[in-house]
């Protein structure tokens, strides 16, 4: 069973639930907006289903909810952001503001974020980069969930990778993919709903294929594209964690448990000003997009999310009754 609520109703509910978890208002606003945008895009695994985990970790101190991000600029085209074991969203937001300014001057800028937490839908950040006129590339490491190819112990996270490109007309082209067959949050969502997961998503702790979310969470995820996906996961680990000075996946604690040390994961972003390379860039982008769309039964990456976002903004967002009851309880409202 689900209930349909407006964006404003859900924003107020989430804000009250975060307030009860003693999360500062300014931080709660940024986190709430990120979760609601995931819901609008039809990605509930990164939406309000995350709120209970965030709130419990803020209460336990695993997330330092009042942390102030520290942003530095050690080289002209390098920005570093230390999230201070707080939420990722304020740190990434602060780091990007500095990176935008540097990319305008230098034509290119990299941003590395350390001592961070779950960053939600990675594609939202590169979409924002593209809306500013830059080409954006991003990756993030997550707690260990995937074994190296041929191995049986988690060394990599699901390690998402995202890319966005501005357009002269219409929404940016946005690509966002987990390097596991499915995001780990989808398995957690299946567990919350009492559902099985599709075959091919995960292995249990003994290395056997499973459709049971509980067994999958104790085992490892399958890499997207086999050995190629595992190799890309290593690339993300090196960029988002090793380069930024964050914890490797095997050192990071769970995003879903209230106890333990902070995950301390990292994110990496690259901003490229196409005007520094090619005055005809946007014109050429449109020519390429036209070649794709002229074939009829095609669409550009990110288009479906934008359609969902506009539809849900008008019609509202459906939440499972169990999740809605939990959010209302946390907000001090009758279930």
Residue with tokens 């993300």: 236
Q: Residues 7-23: pLDDT tens digits?
A: 999 999 999 999 999 99
**Angle CA 71–53–211, to nearest 5:** 120
Domain that holds residue 19: 1-60+302-335
* 205 to 132, 220, 286: CA distances (angstroms): 44, 7, 48
Rounded CA-CA distance 126/136 in Å is 5
| 204 falls within a domain | no
| 34 falls within a domain | yes
In this structure, the answer to whether residues 26 and 138 fall within a common structural domain is: no
CATH number at residue 52: 1.10.1530.10
In this structure, the answer to whether residues 19 and 37 fall within a common structural domain is: yes
Q: pLDDT category, 166, cuts 50, 70, 90?
A: very high
In this structure, the answer to whether residues 33 and 136 fall within a common structural domain is: no
In this structure, the answer to whether residues 160 and 34 fall within a common structural domain is: no
Q: Residues 212-229: pLDDT tens digits?
A: 999 988 888 889 999 999
Q: Residues 167-176: pLDDT tens digits?
A: 999 999 999 9
Q: pTM for the complete prediction?
A: 0.93
In this structure, the answer to whether residues 105 and 239 fall within a common structural domain is: yes
Closest CA to 255 of 176, 319, 148, 160: 160
Torsion 220-221-222-223 (CA) sign: negative
Q: pLDDT category, 206, cuts 50, 70, 90?
A: confident
> How many structural domains is the chain composed of?
2
Q: Where are the alpha helices (DSSP H) in the chain?
A: 7-20, 25-40, 51-60, 88-106, 122-131, 184-193, 213-218, 227-236, 281-293, 303-315, 321-330
Tally of CB atoms within 10 A around 261: 11
| 196 falls within a domain | no
In this structure, the answer to whether residues 115 and 252 fall within a common structural domain is: yes
Q: Residues 279-324: pLDDT tens digits?
A: 999 999 999 999 999 998 999 999 999 999 999 999 999 999 999 9
Q: pLDDT category, 29, cuts 50, 70, 90?
A: very high
In this structure, the answer to whether residues 154 and 53 fall within a common structural domain is: no
Rounded CA-CA distance 178/73 in Å is 29
Q: pLDDT category, 100, cuts 50, 70, 90?
A: very high
């Amino acid at each position: 069973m689900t209930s349909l609520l407006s964006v404003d109703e859900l924003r107020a509910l989430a804000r009250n639930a975060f307030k009860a978890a003693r999360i500062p208002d300014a931080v709660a606003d940024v986190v709430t907006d990120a979760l609601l945008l995931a819901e609008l895009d039809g990605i509930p695994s990164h939406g309000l289903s995350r709120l209970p985990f965030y709130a419990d970790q803020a209460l336990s101190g695993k997330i330092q909810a009042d942390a102030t991000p520290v942003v530095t600029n050690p080289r002209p085209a390098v920005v570093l952001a230390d999230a201070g074991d707080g939420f990722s969203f304020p740190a990434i937001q602060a780091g990007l503001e500095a990176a935008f300014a540097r990319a305008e001057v230098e034509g290119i800028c990299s941003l590395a974020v350390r001592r961070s937490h779950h960053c939600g839908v990675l594609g939202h950040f590169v979409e924002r980069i593209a809306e500013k006129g830059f080409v954006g590339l991003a990756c993030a490491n997550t707690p260990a969930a995937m074994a190296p190819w041929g191995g049986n112990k988690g060394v990599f996270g699901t390690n998402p990778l995202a890319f966005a490109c501005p357009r002269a007309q219409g929404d940016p082209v946005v690509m966002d993919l987990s390097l596991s067959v499915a995001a780990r949050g989808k398995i957690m969502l299946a567990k919350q709903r009492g559902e099985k997961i599709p075959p091919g998503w995960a292995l249990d702790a003994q290395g056997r294929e499973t459709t049971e979310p509980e067994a999958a969470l104790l085992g490892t995820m399958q890499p997207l594209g086999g050995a190629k996906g595992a190799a890309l996961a290593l690339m993300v680990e090196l960029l988002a964690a090793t380069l930024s000075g964050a914890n490797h996946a095997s050192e990071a604690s769970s995003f879903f448990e209230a106890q333990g040390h902070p995950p301390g994961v990292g994110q990496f972003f690259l901003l490229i000003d196409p005007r520094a390379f090619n005055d005809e860039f946007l014109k050429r982008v449109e020519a390429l997009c036209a070649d794709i769309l002229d074939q009829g039964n095609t669409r550009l990456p990110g288009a479906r999310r934008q359609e969902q976002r506009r539809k849900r903004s008008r019609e509202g967002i459906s939440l499972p009754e169990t999740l809605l009851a939990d959010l209302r309880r946390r907000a001090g409202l009758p279930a």
